[in-house]
Amino acid sequence: MEKVASRKSLNVAGALLFIFSVQFVIMLFVTEALYHNYSIANNYISDLGVGPTGWLFDTSIVLLGLAVISSSYFIYRGFDVKVFPILVALTGLGALLVGIFNENFGHIHGYVSDFTFILGPLTAIYAFRYENSPFKFFSVVLGIVSYFGIFMFMYTNSILGVGGWERLIVYPFLLWGVGYGAFLMGLSNK
């Protein structure tokens, strides 16, 4: 009976991560298209959270944050481990706070963005312990690519611009969320 509950929990966690990560990626593209004169090279992602697309972007990232936090509970139930679900929950909390404290909140927004930028890749890398090959190696690579993006964002804005480097931070751990969600749903069917 315990294995059935674990599989169902992993299925729910996977569905939450997959659906809401995909939802946010789609809303990111939609808000970029709707925001007049928006440049993916020269504008920060968070610029989408203020102005004409603010309500859509902020709602989307708040939903993502809530879904990631919720998934951490089901990951805890499914794997019966403590540290990894805490990392997942903290990453979700970061996303939630980015949506609540948008750029209009100045330094607070910067702090919660940094919090999310650091924890998202760390969570993807730490997930290595709870994944199968080859996906576990992809998770590590995605986390490393995000950290490379942070390094480049901090030390250069050339080539890709601030928006491009920021996307190199965010996209890998968003893609990890989509992939990990699918992985968990696949585990739950075994």
Model confidence at 113: pLDDT above 60: yes
Per-residue confidence (pLDDT) for residue 3, from 0 to 100:
55
Model confidence at 181: pLDDT above 60: yes
Which whole-number Å values give the CA distances from 182 to 3, 11, 135, in the listed order?
Answer: 19, 9, 11
Model confidence at 2: pLDDT above 80: no
Residue type, 126: Y
Q: Which domains does the chain have, with CATH numbers?
A: 2-188 (1.20.1070)
pLDDT band at 157 (very low <50, low <70, confident <90, very high): confident
pLDDT band at 69 (very low <50, low <70, confident <90, very high): very high
Per-residue confidence (pLDDT) for residue 5, from 0 to 100:
58
**Three-state secondary-structure class, residue 69:** helix
Model confidence at 171: pLDDT above 70: yes
Residue 141, token pair as written in the block: 């690579």
- Whether residue 134 is preceded by a cis peptide bond, meaning omega within 30 degrees of 0, is yes
Model confidence at 190: pLDDT above 70: no
Between CA 173 and CA 178, with CA 175 as vertex, the angle to 5 degrees is 115
Distance CA 87, CA 75 (A): 11
Residue 87, token pair as written in the block: 């990392």
pLDDT band at 1 (very low <50, low <70, confident <90, very high): very low
- Secondary element (H or E) of residue 38: none
Work out the average pLDDT over 1-14: 77
Model confidence at 168: pLDDT above 80: yes
Work out the average pLDDT over 162-174: 95
Residue with tokens 């959270």: 49
Mean pLDDT of the chain: 94
**Cβ atoms < 10 Å from Cβ of 190:** 6
Work out the average pLDDT over 74-92: 95
Per-residue confidence (pLDDT) for residue 43, from 0 to 100:
96
Distance CA 117, CA 165 (A): 12
Strands (E), 25-171: none
- The share of the chain scoring above pLDDT 70, in percent, equals 96
Q: What is the chain's alpha carbon radius of gyration, rounded to the nearest angstrom?
A: 16
The answer to whether 114 and 97 have CB atoms below 8 angstroms apart is no
Distance CA 107, CA 134 (A): 39
Query: Sign of torsion, CA 86 130 140 126?
Result: positive
